[in-house]
Structure 1
């Protein structure tokens, strides 16, 4: 397999020119066509004066265009920046100002999001007639530049809603571990049909999709996540694999369209990106009828670094507790759990911060040397900011983001543990646990709960339910009810947004 993104599409275009590469909205692009159109993008970029390590941005929902631009930019040594179409106009402007792309390719429906980009900003090419004319004016000849595997090819931004944008830079060498992941852990190959609902501006979209695409498999993109529509795509395209965040797994399991959908082609669902409650997981396993595999990773590691194999998903077996794990580290990387107070490896069962050493690790954050130095530390380790512990077999059990930990009366409380208990309540649809100010304890636990339709949940009853199953100091002291939880593009609950009203003026950072 090629060591660069540009080499990858060249090889696939030559070896599998007529095979389907990517489909969406009734359109299918073959590998040969994708190779040709990416060469036109490369030539158009050269005509626009784009050179090595210049940035090119894409603002659109999932579409083959993202791959055309990404592979085309790679063919001239440029870097693709994925823009989150869910952001507000000022947020888009902040990322454009930070990344300084030479060209932005934008869908017509999102053109207005570039309104705050100044007159001296990038050239804007609108998808549709303008984009097609831009490509038609360029020759379909590969410029033939040879990239270095360690050159940056992708820049992905954190999806937070405040603060300075943070662009993680990923190289071909980082990203091309994903086809290996596809082959060795997903059981993928050229015959795979891989459904990608996560947005391509996120590692769960572009990174995950390379698992099958990098092996010559067929990628089916989801432009809008609607449970009935996703189920219909699985049936229509005979999808074999997919990666879903827990919120989407739950949507599919509870969709009225599920009983009438043929899912017999579906071999494996990978899940991750946010905590998956055991109750949710068991229900999905029973209803969706395929193998499940848990994964853990992040943008800065170019995707997954652990996997909980399907064989470890045995709710009735002697090791049923493994369902609470995100699996073991992948064999080509090192993983530690570091005690934040001592800087040493935490003992078995001791909670600490996950550190990863791998060829997948980002080379740093664009324009943020201090943050890069804080994240990438001596010895080649990347500090993830995620809290977890290891068991004696090396399985990783997540607790939370370190910054989401609640410290109440000197006791460390990990929200994921509390959420897992509350998810077991039959009338709880979704829950997020946060820390809020307490005059007595410094902070205390609050649960924000989305009830199931028609449920008559009572806060006191829910607190009592938790107290029957957890130490009292870990349990919510208050419960708020909501119609939905705020989420980012990857499906993670934005706990910062939930915390902000309670900590405003208190003097604690809520990021």
Structure 2
């Protein structure tokens, strides 16, 4: 299975189900798959097979579209963190050797200036609107090819690179982590086991798409359920989009959950609105869990992962949180259990430190 296959399947089996909503617009899986194929075809016409494409923008529907569209064209997607300094972004783009940058002028212009000073001049495109891509002629299948080639390039395979995400890890210099079609789809599938998605669920994604947490978009599309995309995390915006689109699930960091509880609108808008909240990035305290449960009345689950693991790999399920809410806080001291497609090993660290 390859990135993009999840959209083909969803467009066949749930054609009229919304795939993504943002602001006051939404697109069905039929429309989303068509737009993905159109973007893939445009990329394939402009970038050599296995070439790298950088997307530099805040959360926007086209960024979400690129998650599958660029890899399904046989090209590799790089998503520099737009919050970095332009010089750091230029380092990332130089490191991956991006041939094309897709993004907004406010972020791309200063980076292009720095790249030009280094003798690098990748192509640049602005962000497409989804309706513009839907205006393309329907495409059955993208045809990756070099501009001077007469035969189509080979289609990608599951072991081929799909995304490159730069992460600092424990050092100050970001390093590119290469994630394949197979690893990303395994991570998305594992997320569905760790945080089950029901047939009536709608998921709100409040994190930057340039993070590996974007695998949640793939997971929801594998489950053929809608994703609501917000440009940023704000409690008032979260509740407004929850009402508009019938959101039942959301992912938050515990700090974001605390901000949500601090917002005056939460008591009127939040009680009973959500079925489940998944959290990550840090542990949750018993006090925060208790307050959130009392005021929101939903289930909680935790996830632990890393960029190198293609997302969350270890999960603390809703049953463990119910134990904590009934007075046994011991489960909250654990990250949980490995997901079904995860192997975990505990390795002792020598007294004199790691090698």
Q: Under TM normalisation by the shorter chain, which class is it?
A: 0.7 to 0.9
Q: Compare relative contact order (CA 8 Å, sep 6+) and give the higher one, 1 or 2.
A: 2
Q: TM-score, normalised by structure 2?
A: 0.87
* Structure 1: distance between partners of 2:207 and 2:11: 25
Q: CA deviation at 1:36?
A: 1.1
Question: Aligned pair in 2 of structure 1 residues 160, 318: CA closer, same or farther (>3 Å)?
Answer: closer
Say which is worse superposed, 83-92 or 160-169, in terms of deviation.
160-169
| Equivalent residue for 1:43, pick from 38, 41, 65 | 41
Q: What are the Cα deviations for residues 224-276 of structure 1, in whole angstroms up to 9, with x where unaligned?
A: 11112112222222211111111111111111111120542411111111233
CA gap 1:25/1:179 in 2 versus in 1, 3 angstroms: same
Deviations 1:330-380 (A, max 9, x none): 23322122111079xxxxxxxx99xxxxxxxxxxxxxxxxxxxx9xxxxxx
Matched, 1:298 2:303: no
Secondary structure, counterpart of 1:248 in structure 2: helix
**2 CA distance for matches of 1:162 and 1:311?**
36
Are 2:34 and 2:134, in contact at CA under 8 Å, matched by a contact in 1? no
Stretch deviating more after TM superposition (327-336 or 265-274): 327-336
3-state SS of paired residue (2:239) = helix
Q: Contact between 1:156 and 1:299, CA under 8 Å: does it hold in 2?
A: yes
Measure, in 2, the Cα distance between the counterparts of 1:24 and 1:222. Answer: 6
Residue pair 1:235, 1:263 contacting (<8 A) in 2 also: no
Task: Spell out, residue by residue over 1:27-49, the C-alpha distance to the aligned partner (whole angstroms, 9 max, x if none).
Answer: 21221111111111122122214
Q: Tell me the CA shift for residue 292 of structure 1.
A: 0.5
Asked if 1:95 corresponds to 2:92, the answer is yes
Q: Match for residue 429 of structure 1?
A: none
- 1:200 maps to 209
Shift, 1:133, TM fit? 7.0
Residue 64 of structure 1 corresponds to which residue in structure 2? 61
Name the CA shift for 1:158/1:34 in 2 (closer, same or farther; >3 Å): same
Q: Aligned pair count?
A: 341
Task: Looking at secondary structure, tell me which structure has more strand per residue.
Answer: 1
Q: What is the DSSP-based 3-state SS (H/G/I as helix, E as strand, rest coil) of the residue aligned with 1:170?
A: strand
Provide the residue aligned with 1:156 in structure 2. 165
Give the stretch that moved more between structures: 274-283 or 153-162: 153-162
Q: Would you say the 8 A contact 1:233–1:239 is kept in 2?
A: yes
Where 1:12 maps in the other structure, the secondary structure is helix
Correspondence for 2:19 among 2, 13, 21: 21
Would the aligned equivalents of 2:273 and 2:296 in 1 still touch at CA under 8 Å? no
SS at match of 1:341: coil
| 1:196–1:222 Cα contact (<8 Å) kept | yes
Q: Tell me the equivalent position of 2:280.
A: 272
Q: Is 1:172 aligned with 2:169?
A: no
Once the two structures are superposed, what CA deviation does each residue of 1:302-353 show, in whole Å capped at 9, x if it has no partner? 111211111111235463321222211223322122111079xxxxxxxx99
Q: Out of 239, 253, 261, which is 1:245 matched to? A: 253
Distance in 2 of aligned mates of 1:337 and 1:258: 40
Kindly tell me: are residues 308 and 128 of structure 1, through their superposed partners in 2, closer, same or farther at Cα, counting changes over 3 Å? closer
User: Any gaps of 5 or more consecutive residues in structure 1?
Assistant: 344-351, 354-373, 375-511
| CA contact 2:79–2:210 (8 Å) conserved in 1 | yes
State the shift of 1:106 in Å: 0.3
Q: Does the 8 Å contact 2:193/2:340 carry over to 1?
A: no
Q: Higher helix proportion, which one?
A: 2
Superposition map of 1:42-441 within 5 A: 42-51=40-49, 53-114=50-111, 115-118=113-116, 120-127=120-127, 140-143=139-142, 146-158=155-167, 163-204=172-213, 206-313=214-321, 314-315=323-324, 317=326, 319-341=328-350
Q: Distance in 2 between matches of 1:162 and 1:94?
A: 16
Deviation at 1:163, TM superposition (A): 4.4
Cα distance change on mapping 1:173 and 1:230 into 2, 3 Å: same
Measure how far apart 1:54 and its partner are: 1.1
Q: What is the Cα deviation at residue 279 of structure 1?
A: 2.6
CA 122–188 in structure 1, closer or farther in 2 if over 3 Å, else same: same
Cα distance in 2 for residues equivalent to 1:214 and 1:166: 29
Tell me the secondary structure at the aligned position of residue 295 of structure 1. Answer: strand
CA contact (8 A) 2:191 2:313 kept: no
- Determine if contact 1:253/1:284 at 8 Å carries over to the other structure: yes
User: Does structure 2 conserve the Cα–Cα contact (< 8 Å) formed by 1:239 and 1:266?
Assistant: yes
3-state DSSP class of the match of 2:344?
A: strand
So what's the TM-score if we normalise by structure 1? 0.62
